[in-house]
Every structure is written in C-alpha cells, then in structure tokens.
Amino acid sequence: MDRSLNLLDEALGLDNGDSNPSETRLLLLIEDCVETSAYFVLHHLIKRSLSPHSSALVVFVAFAQPFSHYDRILRKMGCNLVVQRDNKRFLFLDMLTLECPGEPQMEMVKKLAKVDFLICMEKSRKLWRLEPGASLVMIDDISLMEVAANGSSNHVLDFLHYCQTLTTEFGCSLVFLNHKDIYSSMERPTLILQMEYLAEVIIRAEPLATGLAADVHGQLTVMNKGICDGPRTLQTKMCNFHFRIKENCVEYFYPGSRT
C-alpha cells in the first residue's frame, strides 16, 4: 500500500486489514466546508473497503450525486463500482430517485425508515453475519438528507440513531458527511452538535489558515475519541496534517515535512 495513504488510516486507527476487523469499527463524522471538500475521504474509504483483501460490503446512501459520478471517480482510483455492484458488495441507494413500489408519493421520512432497513437489514443480513465488523454504511450527505426530510433535523437524527444501532448489532461502521459552514451562523447548531456527540471519530477538512498554496490543498484534523462502544475509558487522540489531491490519489503529510 502507498505509504503516504497511511497517515489517514493511522489516524483513523485502521491498519492493513490483517487484524481483527471488529476492532476497526468506526462511527465517523466527516465535516468539510465550501473551500475544502472532503469527498476524497469518502472515496478513500470506499476503495479501502472494496479492496480485494477485504470482503466488506458497502451500503451507500446517496443524496448528493448519482451512481455514475462515484463510478467515474473510483474507476480512476482503480476500483470498478459496477463490478462490485453486480457482485453485491456495493449497495447504492440513490435516495432522490428511489421509488417504493406501490407508494410513489411516499414521504422521504417514511422512505428513510422503510427503505434503509428493508434493504440494509434484509439484503445484507446474511453477509453481515458472516463478516462482522467489515461492513460500512455511508451517508452522503446529511445536509441534503435534512433538505429531503423537509428540514426536520429530528428525523435525520432518528435515522442516524437507527444506523448507530446497526453498528452495535452487526459491528459495522458508519460514515456520514456534513458541511460545517452551513451551520456556522446559527446560534445553536443542534444538528451538527448532536452528530459531534454521536461520532466516535471526527474528521475536519479545512483550508489552510494562510490561504491555499500550490502544493497543499488543505488540512485534515482527526479527532479519535476512542473505539466505538469500548468499555474502557479511552483517551482522545488527535492529529493534524496537510493533504494534496492529485489526479487519482491523495497525498497526506505533516506540516513542514515537505520541501
């Protein structure tokens, strides 16, 4: 594996997939902003989960982009989503075009409650039983889900809570993306605060304080509150590093470690 990729994996507490997968269970919140998008972290995690070494399943709940968008990017990174979808390892739920049979006018809230659990739990149940801890549920992204749920952050939180119960029931990981700056002017940004309380690991993507540089595209701050549901009190680990997005990979490095 590319050595430079390890900085993010290390911060997340992931390794090369040799160890017990249930120890790499994540409850991960990714926060980005308009200037610095963190989609590349999602792509990285998809690619990691679908790599030939692992047998993980990815359930992707998409509000932001169509399937072809992700397919195009992941193909450049050397991962064919169409093949993975046909192999039933990549479940793509395009929430905006999704229609439930017989109930085309169903509200998004009901759709969320029904569709997610119908598909996530039934279709992947057998697989999850076989591969505990290796699966991944991804939501892209929360702010658009809030829009789809008619602005009701309570429904979004209910949905997230049910996703969280999946992580304890099946030992899978949950990754959700949100845009932090949307909430920056609110006096009490309940939704983003709730998500920060919920998450075990928070990744923040921000521009450099000094503005954008030619060879540094931004910085990531990873706050790891400890392994999800660990019985012992675990210390929070934090790290901060820069990244540079290249054509088909991303470089991570500590500030000042490159000339």
Partner 1 sequence: MAESICRALRDGALEGEHAPALTIKDSIASPSGPIVFNHVLVQLSSNILALKSQSQGIVLVALSRSPSFYVDLLKSRGIDVDSLHKWLRVLDCYTDPLGWKDRLVECGSITNPSPEASNKVRLCKDVRNLDNLSSSIIEMGKELVGQGKGRFSVAIDSATDMLRHASISSVAALLSSLRSHAQVSCAFWLLHSDLHEVRVTSVLEYLSSMLANVEPMTQSTNGQRGNSENFSLLEQNSKRGKFNVRMKRRNGRVRLMFEEFCIEQSGIKFTPVSSDGGIVTQSLVPKVQFNLQLSEKERIERAKVVLPFEHQGNGKSIEIYDGRRYLTENKTETISNFDEKLQTNEDPGRGEIIYFRDSDDERPDSDEDPDDDLDI
Q: Strand, helix or coil at 136?
A: strand
For residue 229, state whether it binds partner 1 (rule: CB under 8 A).
yes
Q: Strand, helix or coil at 86?
A: helix
- Over its C-alpha atoms, the chain yields an Rg (Å, rounded) of 18
**Region 44-103 residues binding partner 1, contact defined as CB under 8 A:** none
Q: What is the largest CA-CA distance in the chain?
A: 61
**Pairing state of beta strands 58-62 and 173-179?**
unpaired
3-state secondary structure 155-168: HHHHHHHHHHHHHH
Candidates 16, 68, 150, 168: give the one binding partner 1 (CB under 8 A). 168
CA gap 97, 249 in Å, rounded: 30
Q: 159: closest CA among 181, 137, 134?
A: 137
| Residue whose CB is less far from partner 1, 78 or 255 | 255
| Residue whose CB is less far from partner 1, 65 or 164 | 164
Candidates 3, 126, 232, 246: give the one binding partner 1 (CB under 8 A). 232
**Region 179-218 residues binding partner 1, contact defined as CB under 8 A:** 180, 188, 190, 193-194, 196-197, 204, 206, 209
Choices 70-78, 90-98, 129-137, 224-232; region in contact with partner 1 by CB under 8 A:
224-232
**Region 2-41 residues binding partner 1, contact defined as CB under 8 A:** 31
Say if residues 136 and 49 touch (Cβ distance below 8 Å): yes
Contact residues toward partner 1 (CB under 8 A) are 31, 113-114, 117-118, 121-122, 125, 154, 157-158, 161-162, 165, 168-169, 180, 188, 190, 193-194, 196-197, 204, 206, 209, 219, 221, 223, 225, 229, 231-236, 238, 240
